[in-house]
């Protein structure tokens, strides 16, 4: 039985990866932060009572900013594979918390690599580092592949740049099996609510059901290469099963604007959306509903641009070239953009149906601040 340690197990990717590794017969250890409320929603279905004798998933309190705790957990668990997914992963928030982001996302990776070296596990333990298409930042060339130069555009991306290179350096200096997966945006029903896709699918479901009036967004023109997180965790695992450690781009090769993601999502609940114009300097109401299966007023404006969501420096265009992954890892995504949007919309419609019952019963429905 192989043993894996997943940092960030309570996040979107951590949850799907834990499920995948358990299905492959792994013993899975997860690093979890202490929080004032339960924070294991995404993995509760995998929970096993620690009082039972034979468990194959165990959570450990820890934090990427705490070396001694990382060393202890790695020593206790002796993992064959470490998936370093933990991070302050929100690009916009990293402008507000740059020092913490550098500590967790940059130095956190160093702490794990050093722990493995200190514990003499360099030959045993393989490491996956969650690198990102944000490294490409300001467009140098498209589509972006393993050889495209980096130009990070946020404190998050700069911290991840350090993590990328320290992973490469430890591989070369100490012969460690340490790899970067340069993953383009990937989404799912488990995506955090403040990332743009999930914000849109939640709002589309809620507006269609009469639970919300308007969706406030920032830059509608940025383009992202969006895939499904389920496909991407499969790639992470494949990267660590190779004979030699290498870095891989994981992407769909299709890019879409935020604007089009809005249209696709609302279309899933029978609402046609028309934008009034183009250009990121637009403020105020920008899109209206032109046709709806629900009892929505036609012409009602439901998308609004709020400049608070603009970033000081933006990444305008991401489109990945995953040829190497397809050839060497045999990685082929099962989802495309349409099936991704369908999966997310179905889940959010289901989620908010509950709120409509409450509303019909005369209860107050909370507004969500995103």
- Tell me which residues are annotated as active site: 132, 134, 156
Distance CA 296, CA 205 (A): 13
Q: Binding residue for ligand GDR (CB under 6 A) from 28, 91, 319, 349? A: 91
Return the number of other C-beta atoms located less than 10 Å from residue 167's C-beta: 25
* Residue selected from 3, 4, 5, 12 as contacting ligand NDP according to rule CB under 6 A: 12
Residue 311 interaction partner, one of ligand GDR, ligand NDP, none, beta carbon < 5-8 Å per kind: ligand GDR
- Partner from ligand NDP, ligand GDR, none binding residue 33, C-beta < 5-8 Å depending on class: ligand NDP
Q: Which residues pair with 304 in a beta bridge?
A: 216, 285
DSSP-assigned beta bridge partners for residue 180? 129
Binder among 15, 258, 329, 345 for ligand GDR (CB under 6 A): 258
Judged by beta carbon distances under 5 to 8 A according to partner kind, the member of ligand GDR, ligand NDP, none in contact with residue 88 is ligand NDP
For 204, residues 6+ apart whose C-beta sits below 8 A from its C-beta are: 215, 262, 265, 266, 268, 269, 271, 345, 348
85 contributes a contact to ligand NDP by CB under 6 A: yes
User: Which of 367, 368, 220 has the alpha carbon at shortest distance from 307?
Assistant: 220
Nearer to ligand NDP, 185 or 212 (CB): 185
Structure tokens at 34: 């202490």
- Which among 77, 109, 100, 76 is positioned nearest to 3, based on CA atoms? 77
Taking CB within 5 to 8 Å according to partner kind, which of ligand GDR, ligand NDP, none is near residue 222?
ligand GDR
| Calpha distance 301→332 (Å, rounded) | 39
DSSP-derived pairing of the beta strands 284-292 and 301-305: antiparallel
**Residues between 211 and 250 that touch ligand GDR (CB under 6 A):** 217-219, 222, 224
Find the binder of ligand GDR among 3, 77, 109, 133 (CB under 6 A). 133
How far is the C-alpha of 7 from the C-alpha of 59, rounded, in Å?
Answer: 10
* Per-residue interface string for the shown chain with ligand NDP, residues 176-195, x marking contact by CB under 6 A: -------x-xx-----x---
8 scored as a contact of ligand NDP (CB under 6 A): yes
Size, binding site for ligand GDR by CB under 6 A: 21
Q: Among ligand NDP, ligand GDR, none, what does residue 85 contact (CB within 5–8 Å per kind)?
A: ligand NDP
The reply to whether 344 sits near ligand NDP by the rule CB under 6 A is no
In the list 165, 195, 275, 285, the residue contacting ligand GDR (rule: CB under 6 A) is 195
Q: In Å, how far from its chain's centre is CA 82?
A: 18
Q: Which is nearer to ligand GDR, 78 or 313 (CB)?
A: 313
Q: Pairing relation of β-strands 186-187 and 81-84?
A: unpaired
Q: Is 132 in the site for ligand NDP (CB under 6 A)?
A: yes
Binders in 304-343 for ligand GDR, by CB under 6 A? 309, 311, 314
Q: Burial of 324 by CB count in 10 Å (0-12 exposed, 13-18 middle, 19+ buried)?
A: middle
> b/e for 67-85, b at 16 or more Cβ within 10 A?
bebbbebbeebebbbbbbb
169 CA to centre of own chain: 25
Binding site for ligand GDR (CB under 6 A): 89, 91-92, 132-134, 184-185, 194-196, 199, 217-219, 222, 224, 258, 309, 311, 314
Binding site for ligand NDP (CB under 6 A): 7-8, 10-14, 31, 33, 35, 39, 63-65, 85-89, 104, 130, 132, 183, 185-186, 192
């Amino acid at each position: 039985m192989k043993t894996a340690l997943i940092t960030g197990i309570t996040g979107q990717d951590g949850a799907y990866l834990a499920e995948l590794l358990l299905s492959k017969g792994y013993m899975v250890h997860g690093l979890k932060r202490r929080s004032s409320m339960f924070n294991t929603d995404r993995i509760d279905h995998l929970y096993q009572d620690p009082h039972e004798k034979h468990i194959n998933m165990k959570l450990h309190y820890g934090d990427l900013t705490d070396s001694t705790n990382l060393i202890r957990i790695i020593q206790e668990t002796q993992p064959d594979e470490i998936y370093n997914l933990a991070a302050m992963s929100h690009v916009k928030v990293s402008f507000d918390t740059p020092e913490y982001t550098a500590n967790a996302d940059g130095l956190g990776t160093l702490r794990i690599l050093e722990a493995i070296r200190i514990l003499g596990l360099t030959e045993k333990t393989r490491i996956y580092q969650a690198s990102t298409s944000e490294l490409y930042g300001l467009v140098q060339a498209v589509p972006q592949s393993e050889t495209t130069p980096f130009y990070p555009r946020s404190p998050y991306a700069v911290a991840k740049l350090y993590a990328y290179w320290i992973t490469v350096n430890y591989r070369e200096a100490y012969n460690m099996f340490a790899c970067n997966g340069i993953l383009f945006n990937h989404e799912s029903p488990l995506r955090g609510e403040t990332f743009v896709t999930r914000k849109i699918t939640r709002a589309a479901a809620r507006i269609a059901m009469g639970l919300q009036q308007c969706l406030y967004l920032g830059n509608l023109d940025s383009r992202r290469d969006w895939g499904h997180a389920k496909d991407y965790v499969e790639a992470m695992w494949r990267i660590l099963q190779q004979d030699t450690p290498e870095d891989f781009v994981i992407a769909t090769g299709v890019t879409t604007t935020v604007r089009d993601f809005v249209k696709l999502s609302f279309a899933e609940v029978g609402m046609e959306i028309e934008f009034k114009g183009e250009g990121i300097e637009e403020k105020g109401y920008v899109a209206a509903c032109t046709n709806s299966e629900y009892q929505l007023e036609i012409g009602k404006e439901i998308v609004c641009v709020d400049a608070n969501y603009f970033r000081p420096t933006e990444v305008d265009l991401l489109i990945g070239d995953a040829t190497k992954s397809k050839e060497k890892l045999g990685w082929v995504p099962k989802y495309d953009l349409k099936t991704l949007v369908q999966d997310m919309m179905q889940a959010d419609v289901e989620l908010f149906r509950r709120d409509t019952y409450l509303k019909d019963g005369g209860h107050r429905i909370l507004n969500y601040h995103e």
